[in-house]
Amino acid sequence: MLTGTPASEAAARTALSRARGSAAAADVAAPAPFSLVVDLAAEPIGPRWLRGAATLTILCAAALSAMPGIDPFQAALAHSIAPKQQFQMNAMLSGPPADAEAALASAPPVDPVEAAKPVVAATASAIRVQGGVTDGLYWSLRDAGVSPDVAAQYLKVLSTRIDVGGDVAPFDRFDLVMAKADGQPLLYAALRRVDAPDVELLKWTVGGKADWFDTDASGAERTDGLMAPVAGRITSGFGRRNHPILHFARMHAGIDFGAAWGSPIVAAADGQVVGAGWAGGYGRQVRVAHGSGIVTSYSHMSGIVAAPGEPVRQGQVLGYVGSSGLSTGPHLHFEVRVNGQAVDPQSVQMQRRQQISGAQRQAFNARLKQLKAIGA
């Protein structure tokens, strides 16, 4: 049994607590110094292999220097060490394996301080700021010298696509361009994410109105407000009417779109599918929650392609026009509820799907390229 003197044990524990944080070290039930090192060797180091290896090397040196006269390799063999721990210990002593180095070359920057360092570049008319997310997105922006106003603009723009509170992780990188003008209006906002798709948005003016458009290959689509869920004519509006089958006046809680059987029905806005299946008189129905208590529903479908829990983007196909449930012919019954209360979908800003195409699209791409060239 390997034991250290109280003094050597204290030295190793100090080194351990520096590397792991004091809370974890306090939980270790005072084993011999060398066991501490082996225990550390089992820490997941994965793509951050070099940092883990460097930590282990320092700790090993500290532990061994605190135990004069003990041959470390003999001591290790004398102990019973789980195979995985022993492997990692060997890896540490002999340097990182070749494939670990290759993985590291394509991995995100390892040093969080280096990764978070903001990069600021400017032209005569615009300023670009890039940096890593460390202590939350807002404070990372502020630390990079971004004003509270611009940080708020950036978060507001991003919040139309992701949950800026929950969908941001350490090692993600923000990238924004603001104009050198009064109020520093934001021109470009992006978040490059380690574990999720990037978000990249460019401000663009269509029909005299500035809006934020996704820059990805799926096409620049506006996602403010609601989009018409199907290509069709409104055949029945919201409100009280005589029901054609039930023959009594009743509230029509949505609007009907006349459309050909099998026409694709798309999500009116970004959201999450909260229901997909048979719903009595509504027939085959999909319900999508959009946050702020707003739920849209799409009824009488002939087929459903959305699944409960699935996140959907505006314009994503949810199903196809049919006549299932209480229906006289193929149409889409579309409802919007706010906190459970049906509202007139037409009172909620309905916008036609807008795409930037042709010459506009070329100008859009040129603008994007120009802004991303700042400081590149």
Give min distance, CB of 333 to Zn ion, in A: 3
Cβ-based nearer residue to Zn ion, 128 or 300:
300
Cβ-based nearer residue to Zn ion, 192 or 252:
252
Beta bridge partners of 333: 256, 299
Give min distance, CB of 51 to Zn ion, in A: 60
Give min distance, CB of 353 to Zn ion, in A: 22
Give min distance, CB of 330 to Zn ion, in A: 12
Give min distance, CB of 319 to Zn ion, in A: 16
Give min distance, CB of 254 to Zn ion, in A: 5
The structure tokens 């061994």 sit at 64
- Where b means 16+ CB within 10 Å and e means fewer, 204-216 reads beeeeeebbbbbe
d(CA 354, CA 153): 23
Cβ-based nearer residue to Zn ion, 7 or 245:
245
d(CA 279, CA 64): 70
Scanning 35-43, 104-112, 256-264, 335-343 for contacts with Zn ion by CB under 5 A, the matching segment is 256-264
Cβ-based nearer residue to Zn ion, 298 or 364:
298
256 binds Zn ion (CB under 5 A): yes
Residues 211-250, mask of contacts with Zn ion (x by CB under 5 A):
----------------------------------------
d(CA 245, CA 262): 23
Cβ-based nearer residue to Zn ion, 88 or 263:
263
Q: Contacts with Zn ion: how many residues (CB under 5 A)?
A: 2
Other residues' Cβ atoms within 10 Å of the Cβ of residue 265 = 29
The structure tokens 């390892």 sit at 110
Cβ-based nearer residue to Zn ion, 290 or 333:
333
Cβ-based nearer residue to Zn ion, 333 or 337:
333
What six digits make up the tokens of 249?
């006046």
Instruction: Give the type of residue at 363.
Output: A
Cβ-based nearer residue to Zn ion, 128 or 331:
331
Give min distance, CB of 188 to Zn ion, in A: 42
Residues 162-201, mask of contacts with Zn ion (x by CB under 5 A):
----------------------------------------
Give min distance, CB of 362 to Zn ion, in A: 42
What six digits make up the tokens of 105?
């070359």
Cβ-based nearer residue to Zn ion, 67 or 265:
265
**Residue least distant from Zn ion (Cβ):** 333
d(CA 34, CA 62): 10
d(CA 188, CA 204): 10
Give min distance, CB of 242 to Zn ion, in A: 13
Judged on CB neighbours under 10 Å (0-12, 13-18, 19+), 229 is buried
Scanning 175-183, 217-225, 259-267, 325-333 for contacts with Zn ion by CB under 5 A, the matching segment is 325-333
Binding site for Zn ion (CB under 5 A): 256, 333
